[in-house]
Structure 1
Amino acid sequence: MTAWDTEVDVAVVGGGACGVMTALRAARDPGRLVAVFEKSTREGCNAAISSGSLAAGGTRWQAAAGIEDSPKQHADDILRASGDEEWRPVVEALCAAAADLVEWIADTGYPIELGTDMPRAGMTARRLHTDTGRLGGARLMRHLRAVLETHDNVAFVDEAPVVNLVSHEGRAVGVVVSQNGSLQRVKADAVVLASDGFANAPALVEEHLPHLGTPFYGGVSTSTGDALAWALRLGGQLRNMGAGLRSGLVVVGHGTRVSPALPFNGAVLVNRDGERFVDEESKGYSSMAGVLRHQPGERAAMVWDATAMAATRESEMMRECLAAGAIQDRPTIEALAGSLSLTTAATERALTPLPGRRSLTAPYHFAWVTHGLLTTQGGLVIDPSGRVLNAEGEPIPGLYAGGGTACGLAGPHSDGYLSGNGLLSAFGMGWIIGDALAAVPA
């Protein structure tokens, strides 16, 4: 084989949630040299543009709030939504790790609280944990990368995209990195594919997700799915490639998103024909995207009032919407009807609360929302330890995957996605892989 330019114990492809967590856990072993190769922190990662909400069952915050939950209940909720029983071992492994990793993040100095005001469709308990101040995923990633900098045995290399996987006799043995205009061959005992998915790879999206139509793209530019082809050459397998993390909360003309908690505070969706076409609380924001796609003009007006605004306005999403001028205010039902191009009577009918729900009262707020694609959920088949499997179900030596590169938790369809699944699979698999690569007790 051609000579190597450098050698490490663990080469991590991608410095997002999965990659950083893998490095943090693996680096607990002082004898391990870990290198994280990040395509571009300037372009960002999906974790950084997320709400930063961490789903976990059985945490100390839930116990303090008197909320009964457990990893099993968490896993059962995910599998009920996805219908993907074949993936249960992976889901259960991630849910078993979730409470530990969220508490560990808090113990590194990150301010975490339980989002008791963050109900979500499909969850049988309030289990989304967020930062105090609700500043979102960017704050979380900055914190964890700062913690990573305290480890002398980790190199985080920015603007260093991996362009190929090196193998020998069926084993992953290193990566090829592009840096400063030259290619570097890096030998590694273990390679961890922790890059984002393929939502910004038009050819792959057209191949695997044509049923989504032409959604607004709300992910990062670096989600090009390069690692999938490398793993396939070594015998890796793909599954659930038709699933994506979608959003039915994208504000038309702005690209911001309103809060998923609005429907649980009385918000109503009204289409251009004046019809209330869905029970808003029955759909997660990913499955709502599919409903919106089939409405006239592929959009609808989300309408809410001051009570709902007070309950949600401190979320990162609502702050971004307000700053962008994406939310409109109307003082009366007549003014709202005029803005929706409906009669007052039709608007009143559309806003009639469903049984057990409260009535909205003037003044009103509204935004026209459409469907978007944030990231993909299909990817490589892995085992509960994060090892990439071949067609025979055997691990490919030296090769691990997590984050957007691995198959996610939505099942075969986007409707199976629950809030928090993305960061759960990314941080959770990073936690699991990193612990497996560290020769010290967890």
Structure 2
Amino acid sequence: MREDIEVDLVVAGAGAAGLMTALRASQNPDLVVAVLEKSTTEGCNAAISSGSLAAGGTRFQRAAGIEDSAQRHTDDILANSGDERHRDLVAALCGVAAGYVHWIADDLGYPLEVGTDMPRKGMSVPRLHADPARAGGGPLITHLRKELADRANVAVLDEAPVTGLRVEDGTVVGVTGRQGRNDLVITAATTVLATDGFAGNRDRMREFCAELGDPFHGGVSTATGDSIGWLRPLGAEFRNMGACLRHGQVTLRGTRINPALPWLGAVLVNRRGERFVDEQAHGYSGLAGVIQAQPDERAVMIWDAEAHETAQHSEMMRESAVAGALQTAPDVATLADSLRLDPRQLAHALRPLPGRRALVGPYHYAWLTHGVLDHPGRGSHRHPRARPAGRRNHRPGTARRRGSGRRPRRGELQRLQLRQRPAVRLRHGLDHRQRDRRRELTASGGTALLAAPFAVLTS
């Protein structure tokens, strides 16, 4: 059965970017929002992440005695990336990050604290924020979805993959999709594509990231880059397609270990018994390339009980333990025998670098390889001839069948799981206050909403 529905805003994808976009939009009393999610079987990449939020200058940091600011956050990022060309963009995102951490904690009621136990390469002070239980991204995404479910102006359509963009006279006017036996034809004043990356698509990875070889894919299989195929026929310009979130702490069981371990004294040793890197010189993403260059593209990370006491309190470590990826050995001799390494060479590899503490048995260890968690393909830009989206005859705050001139009956809305109430009006003809809201929305969840009111918006 075909369902033709018109709304103010349609969002393709109910991951972190799509959910945050819909949540921010639904605060304003003028709009009806529809969110289409491809599959909930595995969830989204944010759901299997650490669930940590980076922000400088939050009240959580101040309460912990940490001096930080948006400026320091910006400087840290650029010192690590070396890309001064985008200072204004980085500064804009860092400038609103603390506000969004507070919004998630205060307005949405999600428990957060600054992760003093979560050091990362490139961060001069602790600025990751996470739930106290370190339960990972799953509970955060569940919380955001529940918030949306409680808003009567938002419909989240699960198991409803978007199948393409609706284009009229060169203008994107919505999307097509499918849910069960229903073909969905959704017309919207604004279309947001928050469809994740393409790390789950081998053909796309070979096209854009052949130099990575064949890394383990640690993200969700539904991240297949569908929107690339929708946007290419429109002449969209793509940038940064070789950038991706690599991970050098992926276990051979497909789980991950706590990225804080190198800062707790953990040591990396290859299959020849060599300590081949300063573990703190790279973040977990940078370590991926280093491990890729090792024999058999693997290495073992070794840490002690003191490090484990701190690192074990994360969902990644809990999952790795359940998967059988974490092992223990009482002393160096036993450890060397388990790893099939020469005991003297291993003892030499475990010697602390200057300024680092020595590891003390018993030891914990895990064999690691390199992987790719996500390939966001940041920066899909509007087609040069794209025009502002929006149907001038559509009244915000209503959902109706296209061409019917009436609001759907109650039963029709229920079939689409679409309920009504207020939200942010995002379409052409915005006044300066609405443009400011759009800029805020742009920074909310990482969705690359264009500042100008063009229809094709993607992450």
TM-score range, shorter chain: 0.7 to 0.9
Paired residue for 1:312? 311
Residue pair 1:271, 1:296 contacting (<8 A) in 2 also: yes
Change (3 A) 1:395 1:77: farther
Residue 298 in 1 paired to residue 297 in 2? yes
Q: Distance in 1 between matches of 2:87 and 2:171?
A: 27
The superposition leaves residues 126-158 of structure 1 with CA deviations (integer Å, 9 ceiling, x where unpaired) of 100000111110000000111111111100000
Paired residue for 1:219? 219
Alignment map for 1:158-237 (pairs within 5 Å): 158-237=158-237
Q: Distance in 1 between matches of 2:450 and 2:34?
A: 15
Report the more deviating stretch, 85-94 or 193-202. 85-94
Match of 1:389 among 382, 386, 405: 382
Paired residue for 1:241? 241
How many residues are treated as equivalent by the alignment?
401
Residue pair 1:303, 1:366 contacting (<8 A) in 2 also: yes
The superposition leaves residues 37-67 of structure 1 with CA deviations (integer Å, 9 ceiling, x where unpaired) of 0001123100101010000111111111221
Change (3 A) 1:72 1:85: same
The superposition leaves residues 9-31 of structure 1 with CA deviations (integer Å, 9 ceiling, x where unpaired) of 00000011011111111011122
Q: 1:124 offset after TM fit, Å?
A: 1.3
Q: Distance in 2 between matches of 1:81 and 1:348?
A: 32
Report the more deviating stretch, 43-52 or 69-78. 69-78
Q: 1:180 offset after TM fit, Å?
A: 1.7
Q: 1:72 offset after TM fit, Å?
A: 2.1
Change (3 A) 1:431 1:223: closer
Q: 1:93 offset after TM fit, Å?
A: 2.4
Q: Distance in 2 between matches of 1:96 and 1:255?
A: 36
Change (3 A) 1:389 1:124: farther
Paired residue for 1:44? 43
Residue pair 1:269, 1:302 contacting (<8 A) in 2 also: yes
Change (3 A) 1:427 1:202: farther
Q: Distance in 1 between matches of 2:205 and 2:119?
A: 31
Residue pair 1:52, 1:136 contacting (<8 A) in 2 also: yes
Q: Distance in 1 between matches of 2:442 and 2:30?
A: 27
> Is the partner of 1:123 in helix, strand or coil?
coil
Residue pair 2:442, 2:450 contacting (<8 A) in 1 also: no
Q: Distance in 2 between matches of 1:301 and 1:307?
A: 18
Change (3 A) 1:373 1:225: same
Residue pair 2:192, 2:449 contacting (<8 A) in 1 also: no
Match of 2:445 among 424, 428, 433: 428
Residue 109 in 1 paired to residue 124 in 2? no
Answer with 1 or 2: which has the greater Rg: 2
Paired residue for 2:424? none
Q: Distance in 1 between matches of 2:62 and 2:445?
A: 21
> Is the partner of 1:36 in helix, strand or coil?
strand
Residue 118 in 1 paired to residue 118 in 2? yes
> Is the partner of 2:172 in helix, strand or coil?
strand
Report the more deviating stretch, 154-163 or 38-47. 38-47
Q: Distance in 2 between matches of 1:305 and 1:79?
A: 33
Report the more deviating stretch, 147-156 or 230-239. 230-239
Identity %: 54
Change (3 A) 1:396 1:134: farther
> AA paired with 2:382?
L
Residue pair 2:39, 2:159 contacting (<8 A) in 1 also: yes
> Is the partner of 1:118 in helix, strand or coil?
coil
> AA paired with 1:221?
S
Q: Distance in 2 between matches of 1:285 and 1:182?
A: 43
Give the aligned CA root-mean-square deviation in angstroms. 2.2
Q: List gaps (5 residues or longer) in structure 1.
A: 382-387, 400-423, 438-442
Paired residue for 1:408? none
Q: 1:182 offset after TM fit, Å?
A: 3.6
Change (3 A) 1:426 1:52: farther
> Is the partner of 1:48 in helix, strand or coil?
helix
Q: 1:337 offset after TM fit, Å?
A: 1.1
Residue pair 1:4, 1:187 contacting (<8 A) in 2 also: no
Residue pair 1:22, 1:433 contacting (<8 A) in 2 also: no
Alignment map for 1:330-369 (pairs within 5 Å): 330-369=329-368
Report the more deviating stretch, 78-87 or 176-185. 78-87
Residue pair 2:113, 2:132 contacting (<8 A) in 1 also: yes
Residue pair 1:20, 1:430 contacting (<8 A) in 2 also: no
> AA paired with 1:173?
V
Report the more deviating stretch, 333-342 or 11-20. 333-342
> Is the partner of 1:308 in helix, strand or coil?
helix
Q: 1:428 offset after TM fit, Å?
A: 3.3
The superposition leaves residues 231-253 of structure 1 with CA deviations (integer Å, 9 ceiling, x where unpaired) of 2333321111111111110111x
Q: Distance in 1 between matches of 2:378 and 2:225?
A: 9
> Is the partner of 1:367 in helix, strand or coil?
strand
Q: Distance in 2 between matches of 1:85 and 1:204?
A: 29
> Is the partner of 1:41 in helix, strand or coil?
coil
Paired residue for 1:141? 141
Q: Distance in 2 between matches of 1:29 and 1:426?
A: 17
Residue pair 1:272, 1:296 contacting (<8 A) in 2 also: yes
Residue pair 1:101, 1:431 contacting (<8 A) in 2 also: no
> AA paired with 1:389?
R
Q: 1:370 offset after TM fit, Å?
A: 0.4
Residue pair 1:251, 1:368 contacting (<8 A) in 2 also: yes
> AA paired with 1:306?
A
Q: Distance in 2 between matches of 1:426 and 1:272?
A: 44
Q: Distance in 2 between matches of 1:193 and 1:339?
A: 49
Q: 1:425 offset after TM fit, Å?
A: 9.1
For normalisation by structure 2, the TM-score amounts to: 0.83
> Is the partner of 2:446 in helix, strand or coil?
helix
Q: Distance in 2 between matches of 1:222 and 1:425?
A: 24
Q: List gaps (5 residues or longer) in structure 2.
A: 391-440, 455-459
Residue pair 2:304, 2:364 contacting (<8 A) in 1 also: yes
> Is the partner of 1:141 in helix, strand or coil?
helix
> AA paired with 1:303?
I
Q: 1:178 offset after TM fit, Å?
A: 1.1
Paired residue for 1:398? 389
> AA paired with 1:429?
G
Residue 60 in 1 paired to residue 50 in 2? no
Residue pair 1:25, 1:431 contacting (<8 A) in 2 also: no
Q: Distance in 2 between matches of 1:203 and 1:307?
A: 44
Report the more deviating stretch, 425-434 or 190-199. 425-434
